Amino acid sequence: MLTDLFPFEFAINRTAIAGATLWALALYLAFSPVSDWVTQQITRWFNFAERSLYLSEAEFERTRKGREAQNAFWASMFSVVPFVTIGTLLHYGVVWSLGQSWSISLGIISAMGSGIYELGRRDSQSSDG
């Protein structure tokens, strides 16, 4: 399919993608307050940057609700990038030290442990509130 579009081959290491995304998921779940903070900061930056594009205050206020919702969506998409970057570094660090299969195995275990931790953290927050 890709060879029809491009006259050359792409070398895609599926194991590296799987390992990096498993580690990124584990980090995203384990540090969910940090991911919420990153999302909030990116949303603030998008809203600030978009304000400079409008000359009319009336036009800016008229379209504010839709633009802020769209900025929140894109901020949540871009908030994953730091975790994927760190997850990729973790994956290659484990591959270098222990091997490819260990990175995938530890990534799965870390993702499950982080998911359980996040469920417990949210449950304790809801019972405290």
- pLDDT(10) > 80: no
Domain residue extents for the chain: 29-79, 80-129
Each residue of 47-77: pLDDT tens digit?
A: 888 888 887 888 888 888 888 899 999 999 9
Residue 27, Cβ neighbours under 10 Å: how many?
22
User: Which pTM was predicted?
Assistant: 0.81
Which residue stretches of 6-78 are H helix? 14-30, 32-51, 57-62, 64-78
Task: Write down the pLDDT at residue 12.
Answer: 81
Task: Write down the pLDDT at residue 18.
Answer: 93
Portion of the chain with pLDDT greater than 70, in percent:
97
Among 82, 77, 87, which Cα is nearest to 34's?
Answer: 82
Task: Write down the pLDDT at residue 125.
Answer: 87
The H or E element containing residue 83 is: helix 81-97
Task: Write down the pLDDT at residue 17.
Answer: 93
Residue 102, Cβ neighbours under 10 Å: how many?
13
Q: Please, which pLDDT band fits residue 129 given cuts at 50, 70 and 90?
A: low
Each residue of 15-40: pLDDT tens digit?
A: 999 999 999 999 999 999 999 999 99
Task: Write down the pLDDT at residue 106.
Answer: 94
Burial of 34 (0-12, 13-18, 19+ CB in 10 A): middle
Cα angle 117, 120, 125; round to 5? 125
Among 76, 37, 31, 115, which Cα is nearest to 123's?
Answer: 115
The H or E element containing residue 88 is: helix 81-97
